[in-house]
């Protein structure tokens, strides 16, 4: 099965300031990966480059075997719309649309037929337990519910990968746990590949792999394997301590 993302010697600089340095990273289909690092480590920049929002300065990135260097702006935009999903900390829902309309918006913009949109919608809203919210507007639901709606919108296009930027950052602990459990369910049920940028060790412990960045370079990575979520959480904290303290 083809690697979803592959990077070789990826670097990114802003002026004379190097932010990413020789990143070699591979993300396989169905992986649930967390990217962690202290403020300024380059984790958000890495996500922006991999999601084609920002341009790399050196090295190369392949997504589903396609080199980003070989793609023009129009092709990159279309590729991002069709093959990538996004979950943001601040939800990015449109207040004038219902929950259902927000979820279906990416398909509506691509002029999908109503029957196919409904067919895709049904299993996703069931997995995320938001069947009863479809007629509501964003200002009528909680933060946790908004993030589940955003998650549904991110995967309804059946993307190659979902990028989640601090998805639990605006949630209370109960809502964060519910969201993380449902992201794991999406990953398992639909084999959705998810890359999550987070400073939160608890959130990262729900992933299958954690990649640690410091000063723009990968300094460590660990795998959950057969460990329990609790044991993996302890291992993340231990690794965090070994590479230089808290990552927040």
pLDDT digits (tens, 9 = 90+) for 18-75: 999 999 999 999 999 999 998 889 999 999 999 999 999 999 999 999 898 888 888 8
The answer to whether 113 and 105 have CB atoms below 8 angstroms apart is: no
Give the integer Cα–Cα distance in Å for 45 and 48. 5
Question: pLDDT per residue over 128-167, tens digit each?
Answer: 999 999 999 999 999 999 999 999 999 999 999 999 999 9
pLDDT at residue 1 in the model: 63
pLDDT at residue 56 in the model: 93
Q: What stretch of H or E contains 104? A: helix 99-109
In 3D, which of 43, 36, 30, 32 has the Cα closest to residue 181?
32
Check whether 245 has a pLDDT greater than 70: no
DSSP single-letter state for residue 169: T
Q: What is the pTM of this model?
A: 0.91
Check whether 3 has a pLDDT greater than 60: yes
Domain 5-244 grouped into CATH 3.40.50.300: yes
Check whether 82 has a pLDDT greater than 50: yes
> Confidence band (pLDDT; 50, 70, 90) for 248?
very low
């Amino acid at each position: 099965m083809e690697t979803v993302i592959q990077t070789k010697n990826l670097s990114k600089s802003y002026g004379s300031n190097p932010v990413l340095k020789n990143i070699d990273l591979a993300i396989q289909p169905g992986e649930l990966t967390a990217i962690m690092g202290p403020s300024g480590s380059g984790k958000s920049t890495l996500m922006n480059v991999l999601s084609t929002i920002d341009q790399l300065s050196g090295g190369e990135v392949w997504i589903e075997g396609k080199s980003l260097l070989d793609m023009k702006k129009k092709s990159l935009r279309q590729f991002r719309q069709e093959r990538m999903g996004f979950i943001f900390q601040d939800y990015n829902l449109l207040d004038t649309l219902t929950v259902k309309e927000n979820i279906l918006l990416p398909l509506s913009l691509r002029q999908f037929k109503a029957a196919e949109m409904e067919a895709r919608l049904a299993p996703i809203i069931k997995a995320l337990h938001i069947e009863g919210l479809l007629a509501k507007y964003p200002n009528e639901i909680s933060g946790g519910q908004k993030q589940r709606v955003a998650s549904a919108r991110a995967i309804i296009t059946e993307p190659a990968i979902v990028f989640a930027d601090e998805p639990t950052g605006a949630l209370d602990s109960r809502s964060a746990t519910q969201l993380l459990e449902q992201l794991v369910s999406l990953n398992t049920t639909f084999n959705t590949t998810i890359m999550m940028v987070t400073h939160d060790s608890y959130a990262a412990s729900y992933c299958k792999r954690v990649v640690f960045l410091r000063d723009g370079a990968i300094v460590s990575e660990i795998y959950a394997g057969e460990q329990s979520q609790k044991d993996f959480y302890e291992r993340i904290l231990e690794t965090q301590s070994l590479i230089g303290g808290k990552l927040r």
